[in-house]
Amino acid sequence: GENVEQHPSTLSVQEGDSAVIKCTYSDSASNYFPWYKQELGKGPQLIIDIRSNVGEKKDQRIAVTLNKTAKHFSLHITETQPEDSAVYFCAAKTNAGKSTFGDGTTLTVKP
């Protein structure tokens, strides 16, 4: 089955700096790669996603890149703010419908 690895597990940055979180996946049939932000006591919230026919996608301060050959994708957050502090999860999904999540990255943005 699919295996998704996420790094780093914790990330601390200064406000205004950039943050990068990386994920690798194993199943070449995966074609949908979402990123979620989870705050304490809440369910994951979709922040950006990318499909396998696209190499990069950007939404304001957030961008995601996908390298299908290497089977890895990354989340980039620029100009970080304290409210960006949360746990971030990547996931990979095939057409069959099953989503596999990484173990999460705890991002702390220091003011």
Partner 1 sequence: DAGVTQSPTHLIKTRGQQVTLRCSPKSGHDTVSWYQQALGQGPQFIFQYYEEEERQRGNFPDRFSGHQFPNYSSELNVNALLLGDSALYLCASSPDGDEQFFGPGTRLTVL
Binding site for partner 1 (CB under 8 A): 1, 4, 6, 32, 34, 36, 41-46, 49, 89, 91, 93, 96-104
Strands 105-110 and 10-14, bridge-based pairing: parallel
Q: Residue 60 or 95: which CB sits closer to partner 1?
A: 95
Q: How far is the CB of 89 from partner 1 (least distance, A)?
A: 5
* Cα 84 to the center of its chain, rounded Å: 13
Interior CA angle at 92 toward 43 and 5, to 5°? 90
Q: How far is the CB of 110 from partner 1 (least distance, A)?
A: 22
